Structure formats: structure tokens, C-alpha cells
Amino acid sequence: MKGSNAEQDYLESYRPGDYPSVALTADLVVFAITGGVLQVALVRRGAHPFKDQLALPGGFVGPRESADDAARRELAEETGLDLGNLPVHIEQLATYTGPLRDPRMRVVSVAHLVLLATDGSALPEVSAASDAAGAGWYPVYDILHGHHSGPLAFDHSMILLDGLNRLAGKMEYTTVAAQLLTEEFTLSQLRTVYEAVWNAPLPPGNFTRKMTPQLEDTGKKTRAPGGGAPAALFRATDRHIHPPLARPRTNL
């Protein structure tokens, strides 16, 4: 049943017109931490529809790549970051299929959640994409509140909110938060990530006690930057936190 006859057989089983076709894009919700604030990478649209409004970066999925491959390629293209070197966390978020979400034509977007590693102070370089008049980092909670910006293009505000909720939820029971930091980090830095994403303060002492057994101790210590004791450097493990870390009331 596996000769060329059978092949001929099923290759005829679909004819053009039997099925609707759609354009497929990979959209990116790229998060990074700066100054204790959760930031998202956005581009400003140069063309209609939603001209001059902010949008998530993204682009078409090529004929021979998966959506995840496309997400990696787009990330490199739109931000100039090379994923080969940097430890970048990418996971599929959700797929948005509303038939009218793009007025031009049927576009289905597979959204991806991307976490960039930073040392908590310097932003990773962001270069403008070819089809965007500008690109930059924006504080997530400001964008979601619509401060100084207005809504995002298409249904990107909803995608961004879904991305934030995914990240915030996953941080309760995994150590994903470490993906927003360099390979070695202190518990203070990690706590800063939690506070930035959850938009709520956490008591330092209890945070240390809860997280320490979930991480790998490198044995190294930091030199204290502006006064204070040197902090131990940890490395992330893929452990599940059980029981999860309790999240305070959401401050969105």
C-alpha cells in the first residue's frame, strides 16, 4: 500500500478550491527587564491599516519553516539579535484566527512569547525592521493601560495581555523568570523580575528562603555595587516549584 500508486492516490485527494487558504504569520511578544520594569518590544507601523500605531513585531511564515522557526528568524531580523549565541527563551503562546482581524485579507497569527536575557540595566539593542518606521521598548503596564500610546494595532493588545498572563502564571510554578536574566544571577535580581512582571513587591527574606532550593548555587559571589553584602550567584534549573510561589493580588 506504499508504492507510487498509493502516493498518486492521495496526492489527488485535495484539489485547489476544496479548502480555504490563509496567510500565516508569526507574531512576537518580546519581553525584557530594565530598571525593574517589564518592557515589550514594539514597532510602529508605516503602512495601513493601523498606520503609525504600535504593533507587535512579526512576519510571514515561510513555505519551508515552522512557525517557531519563523519566530526565531523574525526576532533576529527585527531586533538584530543573534539567537545562536544568546540564551533566548521562545515558546508558542496562542494562535489568533478571527476572520476579520486584518481588514486586507485572512491572516492567522501564531503568537510567540520571547524572553530576552538582560543584566537588568542595559537594554538589548533593537533595530528597526524594514517595514516599520521605528522600533523600541515600552513598559508593558503603560501600554496595557493605554498611557501615552493608545491601543495597539490589530488585536495585538489582547495578544500582549495573553503573553503577560502566560508569563506571570508560569512564574508561579517554574523558574522561567531566570530566562529574563543572564546565566548567573543573584536572588535580588530574580526578585526584581518577579516584582516587575507581577507588578507587586515581594518580601526579600521569604523570597530567598523559597527560591534558594530551586536554583543551582555556583559558589561564586558578586562584588557589592553600592554598599551592601556580596550576593551569591545562582544558575537556573528547569525544576518545577512545588508548591508554587504565591502571587500577591494582581496590580494590573
Q: Interface with DNA by CB under 7 A: which residues? A: 186-188, 203-206, 208-210, 212, 221, 223-232, 243, 245-246
Shortest CB 242 distance to DNA, Å: 9
Judged by beta carbon, residue 36 or residue 49, the one nearer DNA is 36
Max CA distance (Å), the chain: 77
Nearer to DNA, 17 or 228 (CB): 228
- Identify which of residues 36 and 98 has a Cβ nearer to its own copies in the complex: 98
In the complex with its own copies, the residue whose CB is nearer, 10 or 226, is 10
For residue 62, state whether it binds its own copies (rule: CB under 8 A): yes
The correct pick among 125, 246, 249, 251 for binding its own copies (CB under 8 A) is 246
For residue 185, the minimal CB distance to DNA (Å) is 10
CB of 137 to its own copies, least distance (A): 27
Q: Cell numbers for 31, please give them.
A: 519581553
Q: Examine residue 244 and tell whether it contacts its own copies (CB under 8 A).
A: yes
Which amino acid is residue 244, in one-letter code? P
Does residue 21 touch its own copies according to CB under 8 A? Answer: yes
| Contacts within 8 Å (CB) and 24+ apart, 220-227 | 220/184, 222/186
Dihedral, 239, 242, 246, 252 alpha carbons, nearest 10: 50
52: alpha, beta or left? (left if phi > 0; alpha if psi -120 to 50): left
130 scored as a contact of its own copies (CB under 8 A): no
CA distance 57 to 211: 33
Omega within 30 of 0 (cis) for the link into 20: no
3-state secondary structure of 167: helix
Stretch that binds its own copies, among 33-41, 45-53, 174-182, 210-218 (CB under 8 A): 45-53
**In this structure, are residues 27 and 56 in contact, taking their beta carbons and an 8 Å threshold?**
yes
Q: 59 forms bridges with which residues in the sheet?
A: 26
Q: Does 249 bind its own copies (CB under 8 A)?
A: no
Contacts with its own copies, 78-107, as mask; x by CB under 8 A: --------------x-xx-xxx---xxxx-
DSSP 143: H
Q: Which does 212 bind (CB under 5 to 8 A by kind): DNA, its own copies, none?
A: DNA
Which is nearest to 104 in space by CA: 210, 204, 22, 197?
22
Among the listed residues 6, 86, 133, 200, the single contact to its own copies using CB under 8 A: 6
